[in-house]
Structure 1
Amino acid sequence: MAENYVILGAYGGIGSELARQLAARGSRLMLVGRDSERLGALAKELGAASTLADATLSNQVEAAIALGAEKLGTLHGIANCFGSLLLKPAHLTTDDELESTLAINLKSAFATVRGAARSIKRDASIVLVSSAAARLGMASHEAIAAAKAGIQGLAIAAAASYANRNLRFNCVAPGLIKTPLTEKITGNETVAKGSLSMHALGRFGEPADVASAIAWLLDPRQGWMTGQVIGVDGGLSTVRSRSAG
């Protein structure tokens, strides 16, 4: 029997790669995002269902999950790949920038947890996306680190709350991944060189690196994984870089 999944933020770098990996293994998908053109193109490519939702609006995120359950049937998992990147020190970050960062990342993750609990009776895997910045002090990452650290705490608490229903909540915590979202970093030779030196494996991550970890966690065969934060970061958060001497 095919597995049924909802992918939030489906047309981003990581989300689109995840959608392709899951489709390749025969899964049925509900793709979610707010850009109808990009979402429609991916849905057509994969033969998947799709619906529009704004990451900052909890009711839309939850409605998308509910629609996925209605259209696909029993959901086996949800991945929230919504995200943003703000690189500013706290004293230069405006309230609007902070609120936007928290809404796109943490608020959408909370809505995902709530939507999953309301739309899935039992036996499913929910994967949220955090960041290596949540556990490694990095300059000018205050807002995004706060949001991503909140996601880790959320996943661990949800894992405890819904364990009796076998709803499993885990996080992946990527390092710097080459996507359109990070192009200002990876596309700037000077900035990229400094960032690259922090990754022990000597390269930036690719969307497939993170997507394959999410797909692994979504797989029902990982039914004993819950409350975990898995670093997919080239060693950024735990390994001293070779170039550091």
Structure 2
Amino acid sequence: MNEPAQNSPAYVVLGAAGGIGAETCRRLSAAGARLLLAGRPSDRLTALGEELGAPTHPLDATRTEEVEAAFKAAVDSFGPIAGAANFVGSLLLKPAHLTTDEEWDSVVATNLRSAFATVRAAAKTMRRSGGSVVLISSAAAQHGFANHEAIAAAKAGVNGLVLSAAATYAPYGLRFNGVAPGLTKTPLTESIWSKETSAAASLDLHAAGRLGEAGDVASAVVWLLDPPNNWITGEILAVDGGLARIRPTKRLGSN
């Protein structure tokens, strides 16, 4: 593997060892980027760091001071950073009346507090140099799906956070965007797509005729991080096979 050039863009990736996070890191690394891989301590995080020759930074992304420490570590290692992406998330499929306070708090902390921590750390670190920050939303924040109350509320909060942060920090050249996937085949969602019944039901809702792959979402994140795309901010990009906005119909005949 070639060493990244000292003037190549540097990024902080939170939740780097997850399915979409790891694929994004591989694509950024292949393009020559320098990366700080942050996430909960795990063998997967260590292995990814060794694979890409990138430093790892174990943290709990629901703790804002730990996220800020990761950004500081990146600046100490690389100098000004070009962007950040937060893939930290969880999935809870339960109706509201069966969701406990502890489950609600966990969903909000993992999905929304970690996103806010990323925005705050990026704003403190990147206001002078500008750059791009990408957060992960969900199709569930844009369309009503049964039994998604907690995760839909948290991801809708991410959407609002993107819009407000984009407005606040636009004068600093600091962009904020979100990517809203449909059902994507990662370890986090394996309990859905690995079962024939639930996979078939989900597939019927995706007009594109297939479930998402990690690379589908990763390519959108990499594109939003890329400095030449610096006229895009405040967007929630649906990468969902049409799930949130299109109701599929059967294939038409050839006549």
TM superposition score category, shorter chain reference: over 0.9
- Equivalent-residue separation in structure 1 for 2:170 and 2:209 (angstroms): 38
1:90 corresponds to 2:61: no
Aligned with residue 14 of structure 2, among 8, 24, 29: 8
- Equivalent-residue separation in structure 2 for 1:219 and 1:243 (angstroms): 37
1:226-241 correspondence to structure 2 within 5 Å? 226-241=233-248
Residue 211 of structure 1 aligns with which residue? 218
1:37 corresponds to 2:43: yes
Cα-to-partner distance string for 1:165-204 (whole Å, 9 max, x where unaligned): 0100000000000001101100111111111100001110
- Equivalent-residue separation in structure 2 for 1:152 and 1:170 (angstroms): 9
Instruction: Structure 2 unaligned segments of length 5 or more: list them.
Output: 1-6
- Equivalent-residue separation in structure 1 for 2:71 and 2:217 (angstroms): 22
RMSD: 1.2
- Equivalent-residue separation in structure 1 for 2:89 and 2:82 (angstroms): 22
- Equivalent-residue separation in structure 1 for 2:71 and 2:95 (angstroms): 35
Closer, same or farther in 2 for the Cα pair 1:217/1:125, shift >3 Å?
same
Shift of 1:242: 2.3
**Which shifted more, 17-26 or 70-79?**
70-79
TM-score normalised by length of structure 2: 0.94
TM-score normalised by length of structure 1: 0.98
Instruction: Structure 1 unaligned segments of length 5 or more: list them.
Output: none
- Equivalent-residue separation in structure 2 for 1:244 and 1:135 (angstroms): 25
Preserved CA contact (<8 Å) 2:141 2:152: yes
- Equivalent-residue separation in structure 2 for 1:60 and 1:244 (angstroms): 50
Shift of 1:66: 1.6
Runs of 4 or more, structure 1, over 4 Å off, are: none
Aligned residues: 245
Preserved CA contact (<8 Å) 1:197 1:243: no
**Which shifted more, 94-103 or 235-244?**
235-244
1:99-178 correspondence to structure 2 within 5 Å? 99-120=105-126, 121-178=128-185
Shift of 1:50: 1.1
